[in-house]
Structure 1
Amino acid sequence: MGKLLVVGATGLLGRAAIKYFRAKKGWICSGLSRRPHKFRNVEYLAADLLDNPSIEKHHSKLRDVTHILYSALYEMDDLLSGWRHNEQIKTNTKMFENLMNIVSLYSPNLRHISLLQGTKAYGIHVEAMKAPAKEKWPRHNHENFYWNQEDILKRICNAKNWSFNIWRPQVVLGTATGSPMNLVAAIAAYATICKETDLTFYQPLGAPVVTEATDANLFAKALEWAFNEPKAKNQTFNITNGDVLIWHHLWPEICEFFKIPLGPKRNRTLSTTLPKLEKEWSFITNKYGIKQLNLKELVGGSWQFLDRALRDAGPSPSPSIVSTIKIRKAGFSGCIDTSDSLKNCFKEMRREKLIP
């Protein structure tokens, strides 16, 4: 119990954590981000993590923070090439370092910091990933801001006697707007446009790629568990739904949900075609009275991420599977069917009037 500061409050996992913990008795939530998080009765701290004064001005509101979830992320406009770009590494490192320096001065009640990583820790963006990937493996030999942030985290937690966790989710399924890696929003917008126009909802081409997903709400439950479980102290955990994610197999279910015909298998580059349909999307938002967000505001840079997820990866693509044995042995048994998770996200987007 305590006060949770969610840094990166408008992202997929940040939003899920706020929604989860604000409903928990004994917890107070604050959200720090550049964009307003728009949660009722949740304190909003407007800050740019590259601008120390914008963080430091909230020093009085940082004093009673007991737990931090750091889910902030900087991505370049060219998402995929940015994953190995020095600018991305330097920027994400500096953002985290700035926050750590300030909370070390102004948060005397802080007890725990949770830091997000992901499967890029296993080099999935560099080469075919060995499966199942395990937390105990040595660092994959490539430049990554994960390692810089992790070193800062461990150094400061050791000095301050704070506990920490490092989390490695797979493909995150949740609801947010303007995120760079939000497959739910990208698929929902694509399906909606297909339903309202003559665009075809093509199936992915090539052999099925076997990967995993992480439900954002499941992650929030794991976070609460780790806050209270001694076996979780200072550990790195993979966290997934417990089954597999194969977009080829989910495509018919997505069609059924949105009541659109299943198109033929074909490669497509949605990141070049869909952003051009702002006029069509504006017509849809006006027709159904949903939130007046343009496609860029809704989907962010996620078209590139969707292109990667649906790519033709060749005749025998390597599976992207991580082991969750460690977290299960430590006592967390949460799971959810990935198909249900995806549909729940679509339903939540409808409740929030993001799609018709």
Structure 2
Amino acid sequence: MVNTVLIAGASGLVGTACVDRFLDDGWDVIALSRRQPEVFSTRPFRHIRADLRDAAAAREAARDLSAVTHVVYTALYEKPGLMPGWTERDQMDTNLAMLRNLLEPLTEVAAIRHLTLLQGTKAYGAHVHPMRIPGRESQPRDDHANFYWLQEDYAAEKSAAAGFDVTIMRPQLIVGPNHGVAMNLPPVIGAYAAICAEEGRPFAFPGGISTVWEAVDTRLVANAIRWAAEEPAAAGQHFNLTNGEVFEWRDMWPALAETLGVETGPGEPASMATFLPAKAGVWDRIVAKHGLRPITMDALLGESHHYADLAFAYGRTEPAPPTFVSTVKIKQAGFTEARDTEETFTYWLSVLQDRRILPPPR
């Protein structure tokens, strides 16, 4: 019997990658999202357009999903401005309601065997206080309000009643090709580079003090989720996910410039959250000049320009507390994939160029 996976939030970073990954393995895939996911696979899949904030719409969508055996839940609600919403209760409640709006009617019609949820380093309290280094899945739940805990507790209760397993992934700074999403840096970097070139300025790193990060390729996240779907060792577990190395933005910047066909050089720090929206007219000119897909600056960025300021340490004169996590646990469980982070960024920038979302290299 062919497995059927329902991927909620299928047009997002992880959701789209999971559509491709499960299709590659011959699964029947049902993608649920407000937008059609843009995938590489030529295999057919079913797309359901729905907003999970609407309980009635979610229930209607679930009526015809009795074949679903696995659920990958990647849907996310973020407020405009991004970071302030991370500590606001109504945003937490909305994210819980979205999960409940899907699982309640779905478990009435489908015999689900496995659910995957997404968390991140906010599980370790990194957004509200310095976290333990490295963050390990074995550490006690950090005592702060977080929609992760609301979703996790609901999923534990629901899985006990309905008899399915749950795996929770905690990826760190996910990198992929999606535009118009909450947290993805390649479209931000690419738009910034194109505007610098158009205005005759160097492609200078726009951030603050040197900061060391970890990141993870969305392909690796999708591969880990596919592994967990049928791996007994993954049932009931949390797993951190990274590419397996650290990086520093200024060290990587020349490789990004080469891929984008622009020149680096000295420059002043710039907030992507303010600089890019202010250059919307310049971006429109670039789109027309290069025959790009007619995507406005707002539609290109989503909320990712706010995330860029955080990642680039814009305005910081002292290093932020580190947010490194251990990935020993998932490796010991059997998933050992690693990736080159520089290649991750340059690959996805190239994909955005190939898709005519970013201009070709000069």
TM over 0.5: yes
Question: Which AA in structure 1 matches 2:346?
Answer: K
Compared CA separation, residues 154 and 203, structure 1 to 2 (3 A): same
1:10 aligns with: 11
Q: Is the 8 A contact 1:171 1:214 kept in 2?
A: yes
Gapped runs of 5+ residues in structure 1? none
SS in 2 for 1:348: helix
Question: Which AA in structure 2 matches 1:6?
Answer: I
Deviation, structure 1 residue 186: 0.8
Q: Is the 8 A contact 1:89 1:144 kept in 2?
A: yes
Gapped runs of 5+ residues in structure 2? none
Q: Is the 8 A contact 1:210 1:320 kept in 2?
A: no
2:321 aligns with: 318
Compared CA separation, residues 265 and 317, structure 1 to 2 (3 A): farther
SS in 1 for 2:68: coil
Pick one of 303, 308, 311 that aligns with 2:310. 308
Pick one of 88, 92, 96 that aligns with 1:89. 92
Distance in 2 (alpha carbons) for counterparts of 1:86 and 1:223: 28
Distance in 2 (alpha carbons) for counterparts of 1:178 and 1:65: 28
Pick one of 55, 59, 70 that aligns with 1:67. 70
User: How high is the TM-score relative to the length of structure 2?
Assistant: 0.94
1:28 aligns with: 28
Distance in 2 (alpha carbons) for counterparts of 1:195 and 1:68: 43
Q: Which moved more, 1:338-347 or 1:46-55?
A: 46-55
2:355 aligns with: 352
SS in 1 for 2:192: helix
Deviation, structure 1 residue 92: 0.7
Distance in 1 (alpha carbons) for counterparts of 2:243 and 2:54: 36
SS in 1 for 2:28: strand
1:104-136 C-alpha deviation (Å, 9 max, x unpaired):
11213x111000000000111101222110011
Q: Is the 8 A contact 2:63 2:105 kept in 1?
A: no
1:259 aligns with: 261
Deviation, structure 1 residue 211: 1.8
Identity %: 37
Compared CA separation, residues 87 and 216, structure 1 to 2 (3 A): same
Question: Which AA in structure 1 matches 2:330?
Answer: I
Q: Which moved more, 1:259-268 or 1:148-157?
A: 259-268
2:276 aligns with: 274
1:337 equivalent to 2:337? Answer no
1:52 aligns with: 55
Distance in 2 (alpha carbons) for counterparts of 1:45 and 1:58: 7
1:247 equivalent to 2:258? Answer no
Deviation, structure 1 residue 248: 2.1
SS in 1 for 2:326: coil
Distance in 1 (alpha carbons) for counterparts of 2:268 and 2:290: 30
Q: Is the 8 A contact 2:62 2:102 kept in 1?
A: no
Q: Is the 8 A contact 1:32 1:47 kept in 2?
A: yes
Deviation, structure 1 residue 265: 5.4
Deviation, structure 1 residue 61: 3.0
1:145 aligns with: 147
Distance in 2 (alpha carbons) for counterparts of 1:346 and 1:233: 35
Distance in 2 (alpha carbons) for counterparts of 1:317 and 1:221: 31
SS in 1 for 2:344: helix
Q: Is the 8 A contact 2:116 2:169 kept in 1?
A: yes
Question: Which AA in structure 2 matches 1:264?
Answer: P
Tell me the matched-pair count: 354
Deviation, structure 1 residue 290: 1.7
Deviation, structure 1 residue 324: 0.3
Distance in 1 (alpha carbons) for counterparts of 2:215 and 2:66: 36
Pick one of 175, 190, 195 that aligns with 1:188. 190
SS in 2 for 1:61: coil
Deviation, structure 1 residue 60: 4.2
Distance in 2 (alpha carbons) for counterparts of 1:59 and 1:85: 29
Q: Which moved more, 1:164-173 or 1:180-189?
A: 180-189
Q: Is the 8 A contact 1:210 1:321 kept in 2?
A: no
Deviation, structure 1 residue 304: 0.7
Distance in 2 (alpha carbons) for counterparts of 1:314 and 1:140: 28
Q: Is the 8 A contact 2:207 2:271 kept in 1?
A: no
SS in 1 for 2:187: helix
SS in 2 for 1:114: strand
Deviation, structure 1 residue 220: 1.0
1:64-85 C-alpha deviation (Å, 9 max, x unpaired):
0111111010111121111111
Q: Is the 8 A contact 2:179 2:302 kept in 1?
A: yes
Deviation, structure 1 residue 230: 1.4
Compared CA separation, residues 42 and 291, structure 1 to 2 (3 A): same
Q: Is the 8 A contact 2:292 2:356 kept in 1?
A: yes
SS in 2 for 1:58: helix
Deviation, structure 1 residue 228: 2.3
Distance in 1 (alpha carbons) for counterparts of 2:309 and 2:318: 18
Instruction: Give RMSD over aligned pairs.
Output: 1.6
Q: Which moved more, 1:225-234 or 1:2-11?
A: 225-234
User: How high is the TM-score relative to the length of structure 1?
Assistant: 0.95
